[in-house]
Amino acid sequence: MATTGIWKIEKRLDHVIDYVTNPEKTFNDSSDYQELHNLSEYDSLSYNTEEECYVSGINCLPETAYKDMMDTKEIWKKKDGILGYHAFQSFKEGEVTADQAHLIGLKLAEEMWGDRFEVIVTTHINTNHIHNHFVINSVSFKDGKKYHDCHETYAQLRHISDSLCQEYGLSVVDKNKMKKGKINYDNYYKGYTLRNNYHRVAKADVDRAIGMAYSYKDFENILKKMGYEVINRYGKLSIRRDPFKKNIRIERSFGSDYSVEKIESRIETESSPRIPFIESCNPNNRIKSYKKAKNEKAHGIYGLYKYYCYILKVYPRHNPRKILSPALRVELNRMNEISKQTRLLVNNKIETAEQLLFYKENLNIEIDDLTCKKANLWKKFKRAKSEDDKISIRYEIDEITKKIYPKKEELKLCEDIEKRLDIVKENVKDFDEEKEKDKGEKKLK
């Protein structure tokens, strides 16, 4: 089982680099070392590796790593404080070869730190337990920000390490056998992914693509149109979009429901309305269009309208942001619902409770009829053999779904109006009684 750890370097960064790159610990005089360079996985990674040693550099050269890291600190004027971090990954005795260990270490470092930091990755083979060492620069070469080591980032390190070990058929720490009182890093990892905007948006986009796709190939095409690079390596799906450099292994990050097999199954059973121009779902395009709309000047009649609004002081001078109280937000939502209910009654000329009941019954009949048609189409979809037939049937299903949603919303409005009828009648009765009481008091005067 692979164990991990990380601690800060506050004094001599060069001493730590010298220790982890020591040839006595990393040198391999056997021909097995060449196997690492023969692996197609290694060729695709293109790291700088010292000849005959398990020493590699990410975003730096192994022989000039210390100088590269110090140059980064000099550029961003951050030479004080924590100089770097020293992490390790140790494997179970006899379970892994040096080539495998080094390749896993490279993948771990690339996914964990490779998008922002310079990292040295070494594999020590001088003990019974083969293990990897990582030296990470504390300052990012990309933005000058310092690496923040905390429970969440360590949980991410453990999670990536365990996932890589499982991919290579290696054992991982059994969390059920750990002593009580230990920190639950799984909860920290879940919290990290929930708060990380890149992961959160990517998960929502994957779910949207699954719902809209007619097939797995169509699912990949939708993601590409949304601005994602799709990487399928050894049956494991990863995605990435600019400006981020880090790939997201979706099954590892989002759970077992996002394996290739589960995605294919979900495409068969889940559906959502297809968006005509899928490119508009690209998060980067959404940001650009928002900025453009925000800075764009109004012209024509609309521009004249905005000008008069400004003259009449409709717009506040400084546009202060007001945060509504929870009670006021509840009342605002209630007002919006009443507005929708009023529009429903007016548009359909409903004036009595009997007309409302009749309209509601018709809605139920139409929804049941559409739902039955949709169920029959899903059965037909599963029996269809050609891809063209499936696309045609899926299009019909989407069209029916578009018709069902607004009818369900209207049905909900009808039910809410029914609930309010008795309350309204009671309020009218109280108002009439109060009015009669006022008339009686006026006559006495």
Tens of pLDDT, residue by residue over 225-269, are 888 888 887 677 888 887 776 778 888 778 788 888 999 999 888
Tokens for 250, please give them: 């979706």
Q: How far is CA 126 from the centre of its chain?
A: 41
pLDDT band with cut points at 50, 70 and 90 for residue 87: very high
- Contact between 285 and 231 under an 8 Å Cβ cutoff? The reply is no
Q: How far is CA 338 from the centre of its chain?
A: 35
Q: What is the mean pLDDT of residues 273-280?
A: 69
Supply the pLDDT for residue 177. Answer: 43
User: What is the CATH number assigned to the segment(s) 3-194?
Assistant: 3.30.930.30
Supply the pLDDT for residue 306. Answer: 66
Half-sphere exposure of 55 (CA within 13 A, CB side): 23
Supply the pLDDT for residue 331. Answer: 66
More reliable by pLDDT, 115 or 258? 258
Beta strand 84-90 with 119-124: parallel, antiparallel or unpaired? Answer: unpaired
Q: In what order do the strands lie in the sheet with 55-58?
A: 3-9, 84-90, 131-137, 119-124, 55-58, 48-49
**Range among 175-184, 186-195, 389-398 rated most confident:** 389-398
Q: Any idea which of 16-20, 52-56, 104-108 has the lowest mean pLDDT?
A: 52-56
The DSSP code for 127 is S
Residue 42 reports pLDDT greater than 60 = no
Supply the pLDDT for residue 313. Answer: 59
Q: What is the mean pLDDT of residues 322-329?
A: 59
Supply the pLDDT for residue 28. Answer: 64
Q: What is the mean pLDDT of residues 297-314?
A: 63
Supply the pLDDT for residue 146. Answer: 92
Q: What is the mean pLDDT of residues 358-367?
A: 86
**Range among 112-116, 277-281, 355-359, 370-374 rated most confident:** 370-374
Supply the pLDDT for residue 37. Answer: 45
pLDDT band with cut points at 50, 70 and 90 for residue 445: low
Q: Is residue 57 within a helix (H) or strand (E), and if so which, with residue range?
A: strand 55-58
Supply the pLDDT for residue 139. Answer: 93
